[in-house]
Amino acid sequence: MALLESVRSPEDLKRLDADQLTALAAEIRESLVSAVSRTGGHLGPNLGVVELTIAMHRVFDSPADPILFDTGHQAYVHKMLTGRQDFAALRQRGGLSGYPSRQESEHDFIENSHASTALSYADGLAKAFRVRGETDRTTVAVIGDGALTGGMAWEALNNIAGAKDLRLVIVVNDNGRSYSPTIGGLAHHLASLRMTQSYEQVLELVKSALSRTPLVGQPLYDALHGIKKGVKDAVQPQVMFEDLGLKYVGPIDGHDTAAMEHALRGARDFGGPVIVHAITRKGQGYAPAENDAEDCFHSLGAFAPETGVQRSKPGVPWTRVFGEEMVKLGAERDDIVAITAAMLHPTGLAPFAERFPGRCFDVGIAEQHAATSATGLAMGGLHPVVAVYATFLNRAFDQVLMDAALHRQPVTFVLDRAGITGSDGASHNGMWDMSVLQVVPGLRVAAPRDAARLRELLREAVAVDDAPTVVRFPKGNVAADLPAVGHIGGMDVLRRSSRAGGRHDVLLVGAGAMAGTCVEVAERMSAQGIGVTVLDPRWVKPLDPELAVEAARYRMVAVVEDNGRVGGVGDAVARLLREAEVEVPVRTYGVPQRFLEHAGREQILAEIGLTSQDIARELTERVAGGSPQLADVAEG
């Protein structure tokens, strides 16, 4: 790793010759495989951008020229070239973030890991430089073909095109692996390109990329082939990008450092917004990743570097339970359809798509469209199930509110990775959904505590025909089923305990996966002679009115949730009791209202006091104190 170790800044990179750059690229790939095999992470995307990233840092002067990575999971090489080569604790507490991080380096301007945002950041930055008279600075945005399926990217392009003197270079990293009609559209307009390669070389390169693109690839390749005379002439100004006002350069072999440097220098010196289209291969240089049919090792856990075989942990993931139940529902009801926003495998819908290919729709990275398209499907007599990570539903809030809920349409949103996800950092923790969804009229939210409840609550959700529903569950493996010992209304009683004389001390309400933690809390408190009943509401919106009746029998109520404290289930319980005029103090244990650093899930839960030991200790002290205050511990 001699060459890699010698590169501590982009300036060091600029002193290397062509042969050294080739050797450096090989060292970077070796280092990536070695590091990610131990910690897990986004391997395939980073293997695919090695030469591209090298070229950018040789042409541009970061951080004076900001380099913004859309989504950000492909920034590992960028980190290595900007002085961050210790990947031993990648995505772990105290180690490097799996995304750009402003705390780590001045070379990281944005920390986004939600897609389709970089062009808007870049538009604002470039305009700021222009207003400030800093005309020697160029803003660079790197966006993948998948992220270009997001509508926000096209809103940004529309505005960027209107600023003819904006010093902005847009690098489209096209690896042909995503559902990407936008990139297919770019290829369709190759007649406008001024290319240095021969036509046949370009055509073969694009054919190779498009052949891997589902649905749109082959038709667009056929269209391209049909206009080859225009491509040969290489002068067709009346095309989309030039009509829009954007200079287009490419396609460029993204693994040819010299070619990329040449294209980027030309784009830098143009003086206005330029698109540079680079064709890359996800997983480049590591055979197991290149040959992985599912996603070229997009994101994976620890694995054996010699073979690429993942070191799987025992247990059954929540996602698999959902996927299996969806297949059963699909077989029972032909009106059940599924929607994914470019995450067919991660959200568990792949088995459903294989079994019912005509009833599963991948809309690309477009959560807003997914929600409203699902509403249209429901209006057409179907029951759509939209599977999405909890953190990404934030992006479609308006569509959930004004499209699905306002029209009272039966759309079921299934939120994977709800609660604390840990290693991916602040943007991926699903700690907002039970707060933001509380304000949506008519919408119902279910939080299953185990696999059995996930199956039954999913079925209850798709049985609703007059309103949208939500089913949320966490990341990781599902715990053993936790059977109920009784029922109150539609709620499950998981543990009953009272002190001598029938006194009841604490009613402990556990939302979703935190119900198991509540049972552990009750066991600890019972050992201290405190009477605790544990209740799982199952549906956390709307809450069962019987909860208020039951709460009146206790000295205090405590709510435990893996959601933000403000506006979550705890607030809803307190409001229910106030409206029922039940004067019992309510205490909420949840996620503090701050962005959490990346670390393991258990580490974060311990840090924020959401372990059974922490909760039991505080509740015991409050009960022993005799008069707990009526307060939600929400911290704004």
Structure tokens at 626: 């005799």
Report the distance separating Cα 412 and Cα 378, nearest Å. 10
Q: Report how far residue 314's alpha carbon sits from residue 451's, in angstroms, rounded to the nearest whole number.
A: 16
C-alpha distances in Å from residue 580, one per residue of 254, 434, 440, 576: 64, 22, 21, 6
Angle at 355 between CA 353 and CA 356, to 5 degrees: 65
For 536, the 3-state DSSP assignment is strand
Give one DSSP letter per residue of 197-241, joined into a string.
Answer: S-HHHHHHHHHHHHTTSTTTHHHHHHHHHHTHHHHHHT---SSHH
Active site residues: 282, 367, 395
Order the strands of the 491-495 sheet from edge to edge: 486-488, 491-495, 532-536, 506-510, 556-564, 586-591
Could you tell me the end-to-end alpha-carbon distance of the chain, in angstroms, rounded to an integer? 47
Largest CA distance in the chain: 94
β-pair partners for 142: 69, 171
Residue 36 burial by CB count (10 A; 0-12/13-18/19+): exposed, middle or buried? buried
The strand pairing partners of 317, in sequence order, are: 477
Name 258's bridge partners: none
Positive/negative CA dihedral, 297, 298, 303, 309:
negative
Radius of gyration of the chain (CA): 27
| CA distance linking residue 241 with residue 259, whole number of Å | 22
In a 10 Å sphere around its CB, with 0-12 CB exposed, 13-18 middle and 19+ buried, how is residue 527 labelled? Answer: exposed
Asked if 35 and 84 count as a contact pair (C-beta separation under 8 A), the reply is: no
**Rounded CA separation 372/493 (Å):** 37
* Backbone torsion region of residue 157, taken as left when φ is above 0, otherwise alpha when ψ lies between -120 and 50, otherwise beta: alpha
Dist. CA 200–CA 233, nearest whole Å: 13
